[in-house]
Amino acid sequence: MDIYEAVTSRRAVRGYIGRQVPRELLERVLRAAAWSPSASNLQPWRVYVLTGAPLAELKKRAGERVAGCEPWDEPEYEMYPPALKSPYRERRSAFGEQRYGDLGIAREDLDARQRAAAANWDCFGAPAALFCYIDRDLGPPQWSDVGMYLQTVMLLLRAEGLHSCAQMAWAKYHRTVAEVLSPPGGLILFCGMSIGFEDVTVRHTRTGRAPLDETVTFVGEPAADRLPGLPAAAPQQGDPCADGRNRKNGTTEPCIFKHPPRQVPSTRPSPSSCNTGRAFSESPIACSAVRPMPKTWSRKCGCDGRRPTAPRW
């Protein structure tokens, strides 16, 4: 799965089968996600991952609160402004109509809407859940760092064939979550995230996105040499742009063709070589050196300098 497929196939999945998620898979995802960007490398996220009995206990406690109609905990942050303005108000309304429409719930059926919302605190049946905290002394820039981290986690989960659903709803029961996790008092629960294998029998409609010109403004003239002379069809096996770059015209623009990179033996073959696309060290960064190079070794990609530098076409 390439990055474009991971991005476009990621969505908030609200229905999972009981198949367990291997611990080593979750560790691999979170080890890679640790490379997410953060200002001055603060890495302001603090994550707890629940599975098995601890997750079942949390679901039970949250379910009891829902069944008892207990009020939500005092909020520790404002999820939405008190009065959403346009176009955000319309987008949120459209999402609600679509979500409850998929479930066959009428707008005026408040009881059914509450029952549907209660599925949040069962993690929609997911066998694994992540809870992300942030230090309460940090500010908006660090919250945005946490958002980038969570997006990275979700994309890596897609790369592993998993789905997820980020849930601010868990912040409404932050005290119940804290009873199970016992986090330090200086942390705020930002959100939970359900993780698992999708139950494809659960009906859903993919939410839409605003057109590009509604959210993006280009300033300046487009480059005159943008993608000139591209072939009409995808290149054949072994074409020079198989490294994912368009080198025919010397640019570094992404190749538009969805073909895999060529695999050429490394100049340093060994059981731990980079030919598998993995770096030598514990770093999760994939090694891009799939072609032999001269005796120049790079230390920029987390593989301890034991692989050739990736060529620049």
Question: Where does a domain end: 196, 215, 246?
Answer: 196
Q: Are residues 165 and 308 in the same domain?
A: no
Residue 209 located in a structural domain: no
Residue 46 located in a structural domain: yes
* Domain that residue 182 falls in: 3-196
pLDDT (tens place) for every residue of the chain, 313 residues total: 999 999 999 999 999 999 999 999 999 999 999 999 999 999 999 999 999 999 999 999 999 999 999 999 999 999 999 999 999 999 999 999 998 888 888 888 888 888 888 999 999 999 999 999 999 999 999 999 999 999 999 999 999 999 999 999 999 999 999 999 999 999 999 999 999 999 999 988 889 999 999 999 999 988 766 555 554 444 444 444 444 444 333 444 454 444 444 443 343 333 333 433 443 333 344 443 333 333 333 334 444 444 433 333 3
Q: Are residues 263 and 159 in the same domain?
A: no
Q: Are residues 192 and 261 in the same domain?
A: no
| pLDDT at 204 (0 to 100) | 85
| pLDDT at 103 (0 to 100) | 87
Residue 236 located in a structural domain: no
Q: Are residues 123 and 190 in the same domain?
A: yes
If one counts the domains in the chain, the total is 2
Q: What is the 3-state secondary structure (H, E, C) of the chain?
A: CCHHHHHHHCCECCCECCCCCCHHHHHHHHHHHCCCCCHHHCCCEEEEEEEHHHHHHHHHHHHHHHHCCCCCCCCCCCCCCCCCCCCHHHHHHHHHHHHHHHCCCCCCCHHHHHHHHHHHHHHHHCCEEEEEEEECCCCHHHHHHHHHHHHHHHHHHHHCCCEEEEEHHHHHHHHHHHHHHCCCCCEEEEEEEEEECECCCCCCCCCCCCCHHHHCCCCCCCCCCCCCCCCCCCCCCCCHHHHCECCCCCCCCECCCCCCCCCCCCCCCCCCCHHHCECCCCCCCECCCCCCCCCCECCCCCCCCCCECCCCC
CATH number at residue 74: 3.40.109.10
Q: Are residues 190 and 288 in the same domain?
A: no
| pLDDT at 113 (0 to 100) | 87
Q: Are residues 38 and 124 in the same domain?
A: yes
Q: Are residues 187 and 297 in the same domain?
A: no
Residue 245 located in a structural domain: no
Residue 108 located in a structural domain: yes
Q: Are residues 21 and 158 in the same domain?
A: yes
Residue 291 located in a structural domain: yes
Residue 211 located in a structural domain: no
Question: Where does a domain end: 171, 196, 221?
Answer: 196
Residue 207 located in a structural domain: no
Q: Are residues 295 and 187 in the same domain?
A: no
Q: Are residues 30 and 156 in the same domain?
A: yes
Q: Are residues 48 and 136 in the same domain?
A: yes
